[in-house]
Chains A and B, each alone.
Chain A
Amino acid sequence: MQFGSRRRKIINSAQTELYGHSVQFYGQPPLENISLTEFETFAVERLKLLKTVETLGVSFVKHSEQYSKKLESEFKNLNFPYRPETDDRKIQTGPSEFEKRRKDHISHFILRLAYCQTEDLRRWFIQQEVDLFRYRFNDLPPKQKLEFLHRNNLQYDTISVEEKKALQDKLVNSSYAVSGITVEDQDFYKVPFQDALDLVRTRKVYLKAGYVYIPHQDIVTIVLNDFRTRLSKALALTARSLPAVHSDERLQPLLNHLSHAYVGQDYSIQKNVGKISLDQIDSLSGKSFPLCMRQLHQALRENHHLRHGGRMQYGLFLKGIGLSLEQALQFWRSEFIRGKVDADKFDKAYAYSIRHMFGKEGKRTDYTPYSCMKVILSNPPSQGDHHGCPFRHSDPELLKQKLQVYKVSPSGISQILELVKGMHYQLACQKYFELTHNIEDSSFSLNHPNQYFVESQKVLGGGKDIKRETDPQQRSQENATTRASTAAQDTAAKDVAEMTEDLDSFFQDG
């Protein structure tokens, strides 16, 4: 800690006040100067924390016991403040509570810089930070929750006793956790429904004339909403000050690498174009496609049509395994015109969106094939849709039948269904991979349908070409983070001096 003494001098009373509570609202940007090394470690470790939040959110029911346990241990490992410490002296080893809170604060603001740049990044960052905040806030004892509200000036309107009486029935029926007695005992907050979207979405709150009536125990929703709104505004402002950050040659490469880390491997960059011919697809779909894509392929062959969600999910996957634009157009056209769409209509109504997928129309963004996370979490299939993840979106009964048809052994099926029941969809899919490829223990951790394909080709020995060419593309989290560190070290070597720039200059309004 060579800069330790110096740092301590800078900490003034305002700063101590800033860290008066174990959970922060991140209203104030850090005011101190920090070293580039610290900058980097903080950023990388918070990123790890957020990655964990993301992964846990998919593998476990949020706020289940397992979820909390895993998250808690990650907090400990990475030295973030995970639980309010009443007595600082108790901690014998490791950084003090103050150090942890400081790290929490600064690292959050560093990642704001890295993740404000595009809509996609912002969305990801906000989502993880919100989940993180929810976990920590929920974990606070009631007294500390109130203290947090006061400290951050969060006040919400409550309803009168009479109104509570009049609405008692409705209030009881609107929340799992409210009974006749608890209605009397606790405060109900009345806020515009826009401020409690999570409760509205899931119908876990009483809604009348545009207002929701939130029992005190659910107050986290309103607080979270505040948190989300402020964070998203702040990110937009930070984005505007980006030119200043970009002109900083020490920061810029580091930030870029940090922001790349979240996407995992990027399958959008086409390396295997033309390695696959169209008549191979049928047999590949049986051998090397994950179930989600096999299902879409089958539906397409049967109905000669797929709805938008299916076209996107499947189309991008095909692009990822190496179909060229011309092949894709031919593939979709030949299938669609066997159904109700004639060639003319296809060219008018569908060809555009396929060229779009390849970045040849519209905003010319090159669309990335969907990851499992995206397939599982966003845009669930509805009537007429075949997209989604079969492990997540099929009735277990139908999934079972399907697995039987695909000749999975009864014991294999029950293992898979067990994983599905525990909401471990990707693990279930990986189990399916192992069973159908006759391997005991696959050496990868599945997070992308295209990864499934590449791994399958590896095992089946058919994809030697494909493999060699995708390897340089590997951009798993670890790689990205190490690369981030190397980049940082490079730049640090060029400029050994401490950062003189005040971080907060990047966060000013304007």
Chain B
Amino acid sequence: MPSSDYDSASLPDLLPLYYRRLFPFSQYYRWLNYGGVQKNYFQNREFSFTLKDDIYVRYQSFTTQNELEKEMQKMNPYKIDIGAVYSHRPSQHNTVKSGTFQALEKELVFDIDMTDYDDVRSCCSAADICSKCWTLMTIAIRILDRALRDDFGFQHLLWVYSGRRGVHCWVCDEAARKLSVAARSAVAEYLSLVKGGEETMKKVSLSDPIHPFIRESLLVVEQYFPRYGLQEQDILGRKESVDKHLIKELDLPLTLPSNVRKDLQQDFQNERKPEVRWKLIRDHATKKKAAGKKGHHFDKEIMLQYCYPRLDVNVSKGVNHLLKTIHAFMTTTSLSSLLTRTCSSFNLDQDAFLFPSTLKNWIDLILFAFFFLIPVKTDGITFFSLICEELDRPRIGEEEEKAEDDKDKENEKDAAERRKIRDYKRTSLAKYVKCFDQFLDGIAQSRKGELLRKSDLQKDF
């Protein structure tokens, strides 16, 4: 890539450019305004910004898209957090009587962070991720996406790369936004299988009957476990384990019941191949089950302990929890290597490899985040510069675009707005903005359906 001469010192120069020419204000507003159905929904939404030198400002709120745009262009935040919709304008929270300023609604959010898997991945630790452990995110997305849709009936799930070391999910359905704190934590707990802190070795316990939700989740985990767990993490083969709890005594996972460990000891000594060892464990489980013994789920428990998504329940619980949604700048990982990694792990060209093709949409959404919401970072600046170069390229197909814009009367955009749209349309970002637009179209459609339903009901009276 050219132009590697950008460095982090130039960020303050790049940000204005980013907010002036690239940031998707109109989609952003369209998203958080939710069709303007509820009064002051956008106006009472809290934003908070992290500015230069880690200065953190909370309780920002804006009355119009225009104001949002102007303020962001003025402040040029490094990071943007989206908070709750409050009872009053957050910017005036000091002026209302104490106790009356309350968080009312918020998307249901999930945060899956790679650091929470540190005891079960040997390839990396803390904020580092590689294509091996990125599999964990793939598993998490598939399991949670299914459950949120099929079990809970939500439809509008926005999956985005969290900007550092995992993914966020924003459930945007109206019903989700209205959930109480208790309901949020119940959903999060329903979805949590891995329990316990540093003082617990065995973090998954199954008992009969196995709930349909767990069965469905196991189907996903079983697809990835042989390659991810047995080969890449080599959980049954490592001699020197990084992890004090799980592997001891001849590589036998400590999560196994002690009698099972005893039974398998001999076999393990004679057999080194992880696949065969795994088969020994599974066969043993089947035998126990056939004998009608209790606690025969230990094979499943191991798979889940290693692969099942680990949620930060506290993030999902609160209505007023701020989620670092949009990191304008990544701070720890090189963007270019991330991009390569994602492309290879999602295998964009043959997406059926990892995802059923119907789910292609969320790959795009994650990539959308990659490309759009986190365009730059110290060494990832090369990417930003690439976009900038695209911006400065001679305009081709301008005529076509004009025709398109003319059709797009819906929002009555002014000329400057149109120019901005064209700006990112000329870059690689276009594809991902389109994805986001489609997502927003989906929400709009449900909204219309709901309104129709309501007016039909009224006619009945």
Contacts and interface: CB of A to CB of B under 8 A. Distances in A.
Given A211-B153, A381-B198, 14 more contacts: A194-B180, A208-B150, A209-B150, A209-B152, A210-B154, A308-B314, A380-B196, A383-B119, A384-B198, A385-B198, A393-B196, A394-B199, A397-B201, A398-B199
**Which 6 pairs show the lowest CB-CB distances between chains A and B?**
A381-B197, A210-B153, A385-B197, A209-B153, A394-B199, A197-B186
Contact of A170 (B195, B212, B312, B313): B212
A397 B201 CA distance: 9
A295 B179 CA distance: 36
Given A210-B152, A211-B153, A393-B199, A201 B211 contact: no
Interface stretch (A132-140, A171-179, A495-503): A171-179
Interface of B: 54, 115-119, 150-154, 175, 179-180, 182-183, 185-187, 189-190, 194-202, 209-215, 310, 312-314
Contact of A395 (B150, B187, B200): B200
A369 interface: no
Contacts of A150: none
B196 A382 contact: yes
Interface string A187-216: 000000110011011110011111100000
11 contacts: A194-B183, A200-B187, A207-B151, A208-B150, A210-B153, A210-B154, A210-B175, A381-B196, A383-B119, A383-B194, A395-B201
A348 interface: yes
Contacts of A397: 201
A81 interface: no
Contact of B215 (A173, A198, A208): A173
A103 interface: no
A149 to B, nearest CB: 23
B182 A380 contact: no
A376 to B, nearest CB: 14
A193 B214 CA distance: 18
A271 to B, nearest CB: 28
B206 to A, nearest CB: 11
A101 interface: no
B299 to A, nearest CB: 19
Given A173-B215, A206-B212, A394-B200, A382 B313 contact: yes
A449 interface: no
B199 A383 contact: no
Contact of A203 (B119, B179, B190): B190
B259 to A, nearest CB: 14
A387 interface: yes
B190 A201 contact: yes
Nearest to A345: B54
Nearest to B115: A384
A58 interface: no
Contacts of A211: 153
B126 to A, nearest CB: 9
Nearest to B207: A176
Contacts of B185: 201
A180 to B, nearest CB: 12
Given A382-B313, A395-B201, A201 B152 contact: no
Interface string A386-418: 111010011101110000000000000000000
A174 B212 CA distance: 7
B190 A383 contact: no
A299 B153 contact: no
Given A193-B152, A383-B310, A393 B200 contact: yes
A372 B2 CA distance: 60
A56 to B, nearest CB: 22
A208 B152 CA distance: 6
A437 to B, nearest CB: 24
A228 to B, nearest CB: 9
Contacts of B187: 200
B153 A173 contact: no
B193 to A, nearest CB: 9
B210 A382 contact: no
Contacts of A398: 199-201
B412 to A, nearest CB: 37
Given A210-B153, A395-B199, A382 B213 contact: no
A197 B183 contact: yes
Contacts of A193: 152, 183, 186
A183 to B, nearest CB: 13
A397 B185 CA distance: 30
A348 B186 CA distance: 33
Contact of B197 (A172, A203, A386, A399): A386
Contact of A383 (B197, B201, B211): B197
A395 B153 CA distance: 36
A383 B212 contact: no
Contacts of A348: 54
A299 B199 CA distance: 11
Contact of A200 (B117, B154, B190, B215): B190
B197 A207 contact: no
Contacts of B152: 193, 207, 209-210
B446 to A, nearest CB: 13
B213 A207 contact: yes
A387 B197 contact: yes
Nearest to B258: A397
Contacts of B200: 393-395, 398
Nearest to B149: A209
Contact of B209 (A172, A202, A393): A172
Interface string A420-462: 0000000000000000000000000000000000000000000
A374 to B, nearest CB: 15
A206 B214 CA distance: 11
Contacts of B189: 200-202
Given A200-B186, A208-B151, A398-B199, A383 B116 contact: yes
Contacts of B54: 348
Given A207-B152, A393-B197, A382 B116 contact: yes
A50 B153 CA distance: 38
Given A201-B186, A393-B197, A383 B118 contact: yes
Given A174-B211, A193-B152, A393-B197, A207 B310 contact: no
A328 to B, nearest CB: 22
A395 B182 CA distance: 28
Contacts of A210: 151-154, 175
A406 to B, nearest CB: 14
Nearest to A386: B198
Contacts of B151: 207-210
Interface in A207-227: 207-211
B298 to A, nearest CB: 15
Contacts of A200: 186-187, 189-190
A33 to B, nearest CB: 33
Nearest to A381: B197
A268 B50 CA distance: 33
Contacts of B198: 299, 381, 383-386
Contacts of A207: 151-152, 190, 213
B209 A173 contact: yes
A381 B196 CA distance: 6
A203 B199 contact: no
B83 to A, nearest CB: 15
Interface string A284-300: 00000000000100010
Contact of B116 (A170, A206, A384, A393): A384
Nearest to B213: A203
A219 to B, nearest CB: 18
Nearest to A212: B151
Nearest to A229: B180
A295 B312 CA distance: 22
A399 B175 CA distance: 43
Nearest to B176: A210
A398 B202 CA distance: 11
Contacts of B182: 197
Contacts of A209: 150-153
A237 to B, nearest CB: 15
A202 B192 CA distance: 10
